[in-house]
Structure 1
Amino acid sequence: MVSPLHSNGRAELQDDKIVSSIGDLAPKPDIRPEVLLRLSGKLQTTLELSQLLEIFFEEIQQAVLVDGISFSHNAHNLLLSYGRNSVHSASYRLQTQQDYMGDLAFHRSTRFREHELANLEGLLTTLVYPMRNALRYHEALAAAFRDPLTGAGNRVALDKTLQREIELTKRHGQQLSILMLDLDHFKLVNDDFGHSMGDKVLKEAVTCITGCIRQTDMCFRYGGEEFLVMLSNAEHAGALRIAERIRMSISSLAFSNEKGRLQVTTSIGCATLTMEDSMDSLVQRADKALYQAKHNGRNRVVCDTDDELDTPPSKSLL
């Protein structure tokens, strides 16, 4: 089912940007059968969402000239575009009875005529089910790289992503920093308040972290109550500012159950990539700074270049 946005029972342009729903008297699609057949066949060749939309954009030019398309799905944090945006647009909601599959907009420098809108709607009917399959594949793929409890990236995702970012950062001469975070005295949370409270604390901590970082940054669950935050294009001072923001956000969390009230803090170690670093050496430097933060009293941020790192921290402080 293809539902134009902002329905009012007629096919017309509203403010030259939005197409409303089609009434019984609206023009019917006038598309050659071979175009629909070719389009339908090509859309069945991939489950990659970006490839699917690119194929759709290229193939529909045989029926309607379009300058560009843009796709959005807020729940999946997806925003994709092909071609170029123009003054006029027609926007549609893609859905079946069970599934919402996002919003798709067509862009053009001249207004769409009513018969062209009818053709776009006819073409969209071939996209609905391939789009549903592509989104399900996207969900399954994302789940394979996500920690099921907190929603942060897992270790598999961390290894793949951090290695790639290090290579790109060195190639383009950019900056990259990482933060290693450990929730202080977390074992006591589980022991004194129960594992359900521990799970809640972990999830809220990730919510705090993701609320303090940029869209280009990523949070991974490193293990247990320990997390790694990758800060793309972030130099030393910027990374420390983000780390302090995270520390303050987590320290403001308060929990309670029948066993009492609980406040949580975190210790954070920070390291910035050098040209000599490998992934392992970068993580080790951040980890060393984290242990030093715990050695210094917890609930603080320590950088790997700080002077106090010359004193080996005690591992028993975990």
Structure 2
Amino acid sequence: MVSPLHSNGRAELRDEKVVMPFGDLAPRPDIRPEVLLKLSGKLQTTLELSQLIEIFFTEIQQAVLIDGLTFNHAPNNILLSQGKASVHSASYRLQTQQDYMGDLMFHRSTRFREHELANIEGLLSTLVYPLRNALRYHEALAAAFRDPLTGAGNRVALDKTLSREIELAKRHGQDLSILMLDLDHFKRVNDEFGHGMGDRVLKEAVLSMTDCIRQTDMCFRYGGEEFLIMLSSAEEAGALRIAERIRMSINELRFTGDKGTLQVSASIGCSSLKGDDSMESLITRADEALYVAKKHGRNCVISDCDMAIPEPLDKQTVPTPNPNR
């Protein structure tokens, strides 16, 4: 059913709609059958979301003039645009009885007329099922690169992403840093509180990490209770600030179980990209810094540039005074 058009007082037309079958539309679309047939065929040639939106934008201009469109699927954090934004817009929520498939906004410098909106709605009916298939494909790919317990990226995703980002950072002369994070005494959590509690700790720790990083950064489960966080365009000082924020956030977590309250902490090693670094050397330096953090009391952040720090006083060997000197 089509809701009435309305203005928001800024000469910007925003018409929230839900796409329904042709029989429920009023007025009916006035589109040549060959246009719909051609569009339907082309939309079935790809499962890539960006290509699908680009094809749709290009082809529908045979039936209605638009300056641009924006596709947004918030649950999957997808935002795609074609053309340019203009003063007037009309928005549609794409949904079947079972699936929400995002919101599509059309932009134009002049107001949309009723028959043009009817044509847009007719054209949208050819997009619904190709879009649903593309979203399912996108979700399947994402699941293949995601740790099923925590939602962090897995080792396959890490290898693909970090090697690509290192290459791009070197090519464009940009900064890149990584953090290696290990939850302290995690074996004791499993042994004393049970593996169910251990799973809770891992999930909440990942939420703490992702809350502390930017959208351009990524968190990966490296193995067990160890995580790697990739910080794009971050030099050493910026990476250390983020690492300290993560350490403090995790240290504030509290868990209550049958055996009492549990507090967790994390040790973090940091390394920043150098000109001759490979993915392996960058990770090795961060891992060595993490080892130093563990050795020096845990619940702290150590940079690869700070690894030559002295032993704690209580672990140093104090020389015996020589009475003959």
Whether the aligned pair in 1 keeps the contact of 2:183 and 2:226 (CA below 8 Å) is: yes
Whether the aligned pair in 2 keeps the contact of 1:14 and 1:20 (CA below 8 Å) is: no
Q: Distance in 2 between matches of 1:308 and 1:137?
A: 48
SS of the residue corresponding to residue 219 of structure 1 reads strand
Residue 13 (structure 1) shift = 3.8
2:75 corresponds to which residue? 75
Q: Give matches, 1:46-85, under 5 Å.
A: 46-85=46-85
Q: Give matches, 1:1-318, under 5 Å.
A: 7=3, 10=4, 12-15=5-8, 16-20=12-16, 26-308=26-308
Residue 217 (structure 1) shift = 0.1
Deviations 1:155-190 (A, max 9, x none): 000000000000000000000000000000000000
Whether the aligned pair in 2 keeps the contact of 1:176 and 1:273 (CA below 8 Å) is: yes
Moved more, 132-141 or 17-26: 17-26
Q: Pairwise CA RMSD of aligned residues? A: 1.6
Q: Percent identity?
A: 75
Whether the aligned pair in 1 keeps the contact of 2:31 and 2:119 (CA below 8 Å) is: yes
Residue 26 (structure 1) shift = 3.5
Residue 308 (structure 1) shift = 2.6
Moved more, 13-22 or 25-34: 13-22
Whether the aligned pair in 1 keeps the contact of 2:289 and 2:307 (CA below 8 Å) is: no
Deviations 1:200-225 (A, max 9, x none): 00000000000000000000000000
Residue 256 (structure 1) shift = 1.2
Q: Distance in 2 between matches of 1:221 and 1:294?
A: 19
CA distance 1:40–1:180, change in 2 (3 Å): same
**What are structure 1's unaligned runs of at least 5 residues?**
312-318
SS of the residue corresponding to residue 29 of structure 2 reads coil
CA distance 1:310–1:274, change in 2 (3 Å): farther
Deviations 1:220-276 (A, max 9, x none): 000000000000000110000000000000000000111111000000000000011
Residue 27 (structure 1) shift = 2.2
Task: Report the count of equivalent residues.
Answer: 304
SS of the residue corresponding to residue 126 of structure 1 reads helix
CA distance 1:157–1:310, change in 2 (3 Å): farther
**What are structure 2's unaligned runs of at least 5 residues?**
312-325
Moved more, 209-218 or 298-307: 298-307
Q: Distance in 2 between matches of 1:272 and 1:141?
A: 29
Q: Structure 1 counterpart of 2:255, which letter?
A: F
Q: Distance in 2 between matches of 1:21 and 1:164?
A: 40
Residue 25 (structure 1) shift = 8.7
Residue 310 (structure 1) shift = 8.3
Q: Distance in 1 between matches of 2:307 and 2:24?
A: 76
Whether the aligned pair in 2 keeps the contact of 1:13 and 1:20 (CA below 8 Å) is: no
Q: Structure 2 counterpart of 1:14, which letter?
A: S
Q: Structure 2 counterpart of 1:209, which letter?
A: M
